[in-house]
Chains A and B, each alone.
Chain A
């Protein structure tokens, strides 16, 4: 077992454990924190795969921006109390079993992927495609059109924030 495998194992266990904690935590704030841990574990995987750019962007975007917003909203709503009433235990169990079955089916379907063939190995710690220079070059040549188009997405999200967040004048008059 070399260091890479060790790291892979550790990160995987961490990722799955914290994902499980995310789902099972009663307190939403804990869920957020566990999700952040998951993101870090996944970022670790990216670094193992030498996808440095994505590793960093993952942290900046997900951990640094998205999860802050989540935390923010949860704190604003003061959801720290365990407001979620106890759900039917059986339903929970059913959900878990259904998920497990889904996993089993998917894995069983995909187990045929030949893991012995050298082409079916993910290259670790090598290859420069994950470096920002290469990604940038590709992004601004081949993928420049979708890149530009994705700005539309942000514009609409921006408008959305305005439309949904702005206080209605009539509303104030009513209160």
Chain B
């Protein structure tokens, strides 16, 4: 599969995520859109890792392990995402306890 397809796909997902972050006001949905962005990145990384593997194989290196690092990076991103989610949701819940809303438009107390 040409790498372009994958670039296009994951950029599309990434952009949808960004648009979501910019247009939605519910903190939880914003957070989910961020997760979507991370997943788009993951997909792209895997595709690239397979592309590099393909290149190595084409260069007659059949036993190549090229591209392993890309997949491991994805693994680390998942690890980080998990940690981030636990903290993020804790923050959102804490916020909810105080103001009973998760609308980011309420986040304007600091402006004054």
Contact = CB atoms under 8 A, between A and B. Distances in A.
Contacts of A46: 43, 46
A99 B18 contact: yes
A31 B67 CA distance: 33
Nearest to B20: A23
B16 A127 contact: no
A23 B21 CA distance: 9
B78 A161 contact: no
Contacts of A119: 51, 54-55, 58
A99 B33 CA distance: 13
27 contacts: A22-B32, A28-B28, A35-B36, A53-B71, A54-B75, A58-B39, A69-B89, A76-B93, A83-B101, A84-B25, A84-B26, A85-B103, A99-B18, A107-B7, A113-B3, A119-B51, A122-B47, A129-B68, A135-B71, A146-B76, A150-B76, A150-B80, A154-B83, A157-B84, A160-B86, A160-B87, A165-B90
Contacts of A130: 46, 50, 71
Contact of B85 (A58, A66, A95, A143): A66
Interface of A: 4-5, 8, 12, 15-16, 19-20, 22-23, 28, 31-32, 35, 38-39, 42, 45-46, 49-51, 53-54, 57-58, 61-62, 65-66, 69-70, 73-74, 76-77, 79, 83-85, 87, 91-92, 95-96, 98-100, 102-103, 106-107, 110-111, 113, 115, 118-124, 127, 129-130, 134-135, 138-139, 142-143, 146, 150, 153-154, 156-158, 160-161, 164-165
